[in-house]
């Protein structure tokens, strides 16, 4: 006889095999773990009313219902909490089946894949920021209320990290600029768009974003006192090799402002030509040739001109991966329960734009 869950359309509970046998696995929060254990250990509960003599005994079903209600109230009232799951992966299904009802949404994937921990990893930081920026531009209203709350909680952690570590503030400034522009449009046309929650909540969020922008604008880089070898002490060929490792033109310009020597190296035509050839096809930059005063091609201006017309290649230390065999989205180091004989051949790295495209129907 097949096992049926509480909803006949669902595949039932998730079960995990342990040394003591099979145990039911469900999403949980550390703040509720102890409470849930207490509720699961007892078969009956006693509710004391106004009179000490009056007692009402509830069955196990009522106890489970009370536990679920307390979970919902906890996450609804605590805006800083984030529901996370034991699994760090999610099955991406786009249509209803007999086993699975409904489909996977962008907000559900955003909540399940633990982006709060990902921003603490320097390899994934730029990836998460880029994903949040793409969501801010076009997908913010498609998120559920819980996902939108999670979005702003993660954004708050990102800003705190940048203020403390001073790591790549330019990326966050661009993200906040796009997000504030989107919110201004949505708040003005609130009757024409979908906004989850009271309009006053969104006004407060916009004010918070403006405050973050002001804090980042006033951010002062700490000067590190080091009596050892510095960047300026390196030979010219090593400094030149460092510049050739950058894939972002703005990073080259920023490094060129450190010393006159680095500025001279950052203005090299060959450097900017290599950068254009890396990001753009020959047909693309042949359509937008920008000659200099001496008749040569100004590759530096070419790079920034081409950025307006074509997307640049994106580089990330670590990305989400998609298993074509299992249709599961996951972080590679956490893995997933793959049933393929050779799982590595089924993996495909997922860019931030591809992540969003997976949930377009």
Question: What's 98-116 look like in SS3?
Answer: CCCCCCCCHHHHHHHCCHH
Please report the pLDDT score of residue 213 as a whole number. Answer: 92
What does pTM read for this prediction?
Answer: 0.68
What is the pLDDT, as a whole number, of residue 74?
47
**First-residue to last-residue Cα distance in the chain:** 35
Helices then strands, counting H and E runs in the chain, come out as 15, 8
Is the separation of the CB atoms in 108 and 99 below 8 Å?
no
State how far the Cα of 54 lies from the Cα of 11, in Å rounded to an integer: 41
User: How many Å is the maximal CA-CA distance in the chain?
Assistant: 98
pLDDT for residue 297: 82
Spatial distance between the Cα atoms of 322 and 314, rounded to a whole number of angstroms: 18
Q: Alpha-carbon distance 313 to 332, whole Å?
A: 21
Q: Return the structure tokens found at 187.
A: 């708040």
pLDDT at 43: 37
pLDDT over 70 percentage in the chain? 71
Question: Can you give the length of the chain in residues?
Answer: 361
The mean-pLDDT minimum among 45-54, 176-185, 299-308 falls in: 45-54
Q: Which residues of 326-360 are buried (b: 16+ CB within 10 A; e: fewer)?
A: bebbbbeeeebebeeeeeeebbeebbbeebbebbe
Residue 36 has pLDDT above 60, yes or no: no
The DSSP H or E segment spanning 322 is strand 320-323
pLDDT over 50 (residue 316): yes
Residue 85 predicted with pLDDT over 60: no
Residue 73 in this model has a pLDDT that exceeds 70 = no
Provide the token pair at 307. Answer: 């950025």
The C-alpha atoms of residue 23 and residue 41 are separated, in whole angstroms, by: 14
The pLDDT, as a whole number, for residue 165 is: 85
Q: Which of 95-99, 175-179, 315-319 has the lowest mean pLDDT?
A: 95-99
Interval 157-216: pLDDT, tens: 999 999 988 888 888 999 999 999 988 888 876 655 567 777 888 888 999 999 999 999
Three-state SS at 193: coil
Least confident piece of the model among 103-107, 133-137, 247-251, 298-302:
103-107
State how far the Cα of 177 lies from the Cα of 165, in Å rounded to an integer.
Answer: 21
**What is the full DSSP assignment across 251-264?**
HHHHHHTT-HHHHH
Quote the pLDDT of residue 141: 85
Task: Say which residue, 74 or 213, is predicted with more confidence.
Answer: 213
Residue 219, helix vs strand vs coil: coil
The pLDDT value given to residue 210: 93
Q: Does the pLDDT value for residue 93 go beyond 80?
A: no
Instruction: Return the higher-pLDDT residue of 9 and 163.
Output: 163
């Amino acid at each position: 006889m097949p096992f049926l869950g509480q909803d006949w359309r669902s595949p039932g509970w998730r079960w995990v095999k342990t040394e003591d046998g099979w145990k039911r696995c469900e999403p949980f929060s550390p703040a509720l773990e102890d409470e849930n254990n207490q509720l699961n250990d007892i078969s009956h509960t006693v509710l004391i009313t106004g009179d000490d003599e009056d007692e009402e005994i509830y069955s196990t079903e009522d106890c489970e219902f009370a536990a679920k209600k307390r979970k919902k109230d906890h996450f609804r009232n605590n805006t800083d909490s984030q529901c996370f799951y034991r699994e760090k992966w999610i099955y991406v299904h786009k249509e209803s089946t007999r086993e699975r009802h409904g489909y996977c949404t962008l907000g559900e994937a955003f909540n399940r894949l633990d982006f709060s921990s990902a921003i603490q990893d320097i390899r994934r930081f730029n990836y998460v920021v880029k994903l949040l920026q793409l969501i801010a531009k076009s997908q913010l209203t498609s998120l559920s209320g819980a996902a939108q709350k999670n979005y702003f909680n993660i954004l708050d952690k990102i800003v705190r990290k940048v203020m403390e570590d001073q790591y790549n503030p330019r990326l966050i400034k661009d993200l906040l600029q796009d997000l504030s522009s989107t919110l201004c449009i949505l708040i003005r046309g609130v009757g024409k768009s979908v906004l989850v929650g009271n309009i006053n909540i969104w006004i407060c969020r916009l004010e918070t974003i403006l405050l973050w922008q002001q804090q980042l604008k006033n951010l002062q880089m700490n000067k590190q006192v080091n009596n050892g070898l510095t960047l300026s002490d390196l030979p010219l060929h090593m400094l030149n090799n460092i510049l050739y490792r950058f894939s972002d033109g703005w990073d080259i310009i920023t490094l060129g402002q450190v010393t006159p020597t680095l500025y001279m190296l950052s203005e090299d035509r060959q450097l900017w030509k290599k950068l254009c050839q890396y990001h753009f096809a020959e047909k693309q930059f042949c359509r937008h040739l920008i000659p200099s005063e001496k008749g040569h091609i100004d590759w530096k201006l070419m790079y920034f001109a081409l950025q307006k017309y074509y997307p640049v290649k994106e580089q990330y230390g670590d990305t989400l991966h998609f298993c074509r065999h299992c249709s599961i989205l996951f972080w590679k180091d956490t893995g997933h329960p793959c049933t393929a004989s050779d799982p590595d051949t089924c993996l495909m790295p997922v860019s931030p734009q591809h992540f969003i495209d997976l949930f377009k129907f």
